[in-house]
Structure 1
């Protein structure tokens, strides 16, 4: 039985009958195109999705011995070239951190050296010529001379006693000096007292070239 159609429907039937039917391969490609239209990428298969899942995370080591065992096992699992590359990278990173610390960058300083007050105290100490800075080289010379004879040992012992007394006097003076100037420069700071004075004394007792961070001012320069 032929249904009644509007005018021009016969031509449409002819055109429709002349078009080839879609093959199964075309249907699959069309479905893939529709699925990727919204995401911009094909939907991963089940095998791919399962391959992306991470395995269970190992618990943190409970003891230092266990941590060392894990590091040793990790090193054994790597080749010799990989271990050399990692070692070179660690040395380069440590060297860079040390250079920045010696330059005085706040981020790389030790906790005891951080803050504007400690930086100001370091500049105060570095701008002075401190007697306590000669303690280490003089102590080595005096210890070496103690083996020359009993008479010389008496003089050496006396000289070391006098030098230690002078160090104590200068340390007390230096501690009071840096506390006074630090309070005047930073009145709202809580960093002061014995801890700040001891920090200045320890830095002053070190050889100038071995101080860390490195001195930013020259001896005699105004701070």
Structure 2
């Protein structure tokens, strides 16, 4: 349609301007249905715990004192029945026993940090394949201490014997430390584990009774390493 100028004259030089027609009822219905279909796409995705309907309460702060920690453990025990406490205790003992058995067997995952690594395992094999004099120190020391109550004269001999044992133990400890460091450097040239710490580790293991060593020995005395 043409727009008339003010005054009623017709301006034939200007272009015609078309006025958009009002949308039909069918178009309005289609637009409404489309908006209903895509209504939820603009919302953020809900969290998993909200979608599953789970609600988590606030986490209790950590206990500040040992007394507070004991009070919490006591309250937790009271909230459980006697049978539940027995079952949990049995499960803890079984789990601890399994971890200890695997540690004694030498499984790397269950070893203490001081025992981990191929170098420490190699040093343990070296010590376990030898008959060390320092391994007799503890039982002989107990015998000598018991004999000190027999009389003053015997005490003098016991004191001298213990002094000699300590001197021999120091000499063997120095020799053992140097030997394991030399062999470990030859077997593992790229390893940084060595020096006084490795020698002390070998000395401590050699001073223990063979049956009480942990991890348990993998070799017998006299075996080639």
**How does the TM-score come out when normalised to structure 1?**
0.76
Are residue 200 (structure 1) and residue 202 (structure 2) matched? Answer: yes
Unaligned runs of 5+ in 2: 1-49
Structure-2 change in CA distance of 1:126 and 1:52 (3 Å)? same
Q: Which protein is bigger by CA-based radius of gyration?
A: 2
| Residue aligned with 1:218, SS | coil
Q: Paired residues, what number?
A: 176
- Give the CA deviation at 1:146: 0.5
1:120 aligns to what?
122
Tell me by how many angstroms 1:56 deviates. Answer: 1.7
Deviations 1:106-145 (A, max 9, x none): 0000000000000000000000000000000000000010
Structure 1 residues 4-25: Cα deviation after superposition (integer angstroms, max 9, x where no partner)? xxxxxxxxxxxxxxxxxxxxxx
Runs of 4+ displaced beyond 3 Å: 48-51
- CA shift at 1:58, angstroms? 1.3
Shift of 1:50: 9.5
Deviation at 1:49, TM superposition (A): 7.5
Aligned residue for 1:55, secondary structure, equals coil
* 1:154-179: CA deviation from partner (whole Å, max 9, x where unpaired): 11110000000000000000000000
SS where residue 94 of structure 1 aligns? Answer: helix
Cα distance, 1:51 vs structure 2 = 6.4
> 1:72 Cα shift?
1.4
User: Could you tell me the TM-score, scaled by structure 2's length?
Assistant: 0.76
Supply the distance in 2 between the matched residues of 1:69 and 1:170 (Cα, whole angstroms): 52
Counting only pairs closer than 5 Å after superposition, residues 26-41 of structure 1 correspond to structure 2 as none
CA distance in 2, matches of 1:88, 1:82: 10
Q: Partners of 2:79 and 2:51 in 1: how far apart? A: 27
Change in CA separation of 1:77 and 1:138 when aligned onto 2, cut-off 3 Å? same
* Pair 1:93-2:95 in alignment: yes
Secondary structure at 2:215 match in 1: coil
More helix by proportion, 1 or 2?
1
Q: Which moved more, 1:92-101 or 1:60-69?
A: 60-69
Q: For 2:174, which of 172, 175, 195 is the aligned residue?
A: 172
Equivalents in 1 of 2:158, 2:179: separation in Å? 31
Task: Look up the match of 1:32.
Answer: none
Aligned CA-pair RMSD: 1.5
Which residues in structure 2 correspond to 1:1-223 (within 5 Å)? 52-223=54-225
SS in 1 for 2:121: helix
